Amino acid sequence: MSQPDVIAENASQSIQEIVQAIGKRARSSSRAMAKASTEQKNQALLFMAQMIRGQTQTLKQANAKDLQRARDAGHDDAFIDRLALTDKVIETMAQGIQQIVTLQDPIGQLTPVVKRPTGIEVSQMRVPLGVIGIIYESRPNVTIDAAALCIKSGNATILRGGSEAIDSNTALAKIIQASLQKAGLPKDGVQVIETIDRAAVGAMITMTEYIDVIVPRGGKSLIARLMAESRVPMIKHLDGICHTYVDDEADITKSITVCDNAKTQRYSPCNAMETLLVHSKVATQLLLPLCKIYQDKGVELRVCRKTKAILAQSGFAGMSLLKDATEEDWTTEYLAPILSIKTVDSIDEAIDHINQYGSHHTDAIMTENLAKAARFQKEVDSASVIHNASTRFADGFEYGLGAEIGISNDKLHARGPVGLEGLTSLKYIVKGDGSIRT
């Protein structure tokens, strides 16, 4: 089993010191990144896309070492799949960068100027956050996606990918840094932490003086650990317990199509539906055909007592396959072909259930009654509230952000899918003419 090609900066330095030194360089280069013109940033990105395409072989060789170690360590096929840099993945990375080049540069935008009675003129300017830390699992394509978004938004970046992808990430880091330099930007504008020691993550999440925000990308256990320990603010979501509520005034045909899509189009995304709520008045009409579709696709259904009784009464053929939902089901994100179903007697019961058991990620209502839709959208306390469409639309590309660094369930700063703007802040710009306060 080959060893990763990792060179610690200095064997005698502790991980803490290494990461601190990286942080210091990031902070210092963040000023040049913030000043960079749109042209310079786009140039760096285009160089990066070009080099990725030109160095496909080098990247695949580095990746082969990671893949070999991952296989030796007994990782499963899904893991290997996410780790692999195939020709297709490499081309998709290059295209992703080009897509980010086409996005409008948010930096330097000004809000309308307001003239105050004192004579001062006040507006707000969009500026980078400063230094972004990205902590992610062994998916080398995230290295490129995240770096490109942070460059375009004028931030310096510290990337810490899964240790199993260390050779791939080191090779990608070389390309990113060379691209920055070719465009006249500091190479430390993007740094990859090239040590497999997991203590590096612990150092990053407490380094408030050098990192302004951390964006974790990965599974629930990673996020939960970071939430418990991080002193640096994060843009993140822990889970997506997404609901669709089918109202008694819903169009049943539309609802069947949408509920099918929300659950089965893909099982693993955070915006897939995990709980279906149905009004008792339309439960039979909706559930008879819909549950058959789910069962035909192999989706396990966990239903409340009322739902079970309704299905039994109406002679549902798949009764023997149903499971009883427990209290735990209402707070579980399956990310799998499992769906919990609850029959409710009113829109209020649906809203209360969602606000109590949901994760404030994405929830939908199916109804033809616009007043009820408006009430649901106002009262459901989630980052995305959707009317007559699949929860699967909750996504930066689908919303027109052009790209997505992640999704936030938090209420401060960016909420929902986070694009370039989420990596910026607004500062006040004030102009006077010798003005003083009296």
Enumerate binding residues for its own copies (CB under 8 A): 31, 34-35, 108, 114, 116, 118, 120, 122, 125, 127, 129-130, 212-213, 233, 235, 251, 253-255, 257-258, 260-262, 265, 355, 373, 377-379, 381-390, 392-394, 398-400, 410-413, 415-417, 425-438
Nearer to its own copies, 19 or 214 (CB): 214
Closest contact distance (angstroms) between CB of 389 and its own copies is 3
The residue among 158, 328, 139 whose CA lies nearest residue 219 is 139
Q: How far is the CB of 190 from its own copies (least distance, A)?
A: 19
With beta carbons less than 8 A apart as the criterion, state whether 215 and 234 touch. yes
Of residues 64 and 429, the one with the C-beta less far from its own copies: 429
Shortest Cβ 82–its own copies spacing (Å): 21
In sequence order, which residues have a C-beta less than 8 Å from that of residue 58 and are 6 or more positions away?
171
Residue (315 or 400) nearer to its own copies, CB: 400
Distance CA 340, CA 332 (A): 9
Residue (219 or 432) nearer to its own copies, CB: 432
Question: Based on CB atoms, which residue is closest to its own copies, 197 or 395?
Answer: 395
| Least distance from its own copies to the Cβ atom of residue 404, Å | 13
CB nearer to its own copies: pick between 34 and 196? 34
**CA-based angle 177:180:185, to the nearest 5?**
125
How many CA atoms lie within 13 Å of 223's alpha carbon, on the beta-carbon side? Answer: 17
Pairwise CA distance, residues 287 & 252, whole Å: 10
Q: Does residue 419 contact residue 437 with C-beta atoms inside 8 Å? A: no
Cβ nearer to its own copies, comparing 108 with 219 = 108
Q: How far is the CB of 16 from its own copies (least distance, A)?
A: 19
Q: Which is nearer to its own copies, 195 or 384 (CB)?
A: 384
Nearest alpha-carbon partner for 190 in 176, 207, 175: 176
**Alpha-carbon distances, residue 200 vs 8, 127, 187 (angstroms):** 12, 28, 21
CB of 94 to its own copies, least distance (A): 23
Shortest Cβ distance from residue 35 to its own copies (Å)?
A: 6
Query: At its nearest, how many Å lie between its own copies and the CB of residue 425?
Result: 4
Paired tokens of 372: 């009820």
Q: Across-strand partners of 400?
A: none
Q: Which residue type occupies 371?
A: A
Structure tokens given for 263? 């659950």
Other CB atoms within 10 Å distance of the CB of residue 69: 20
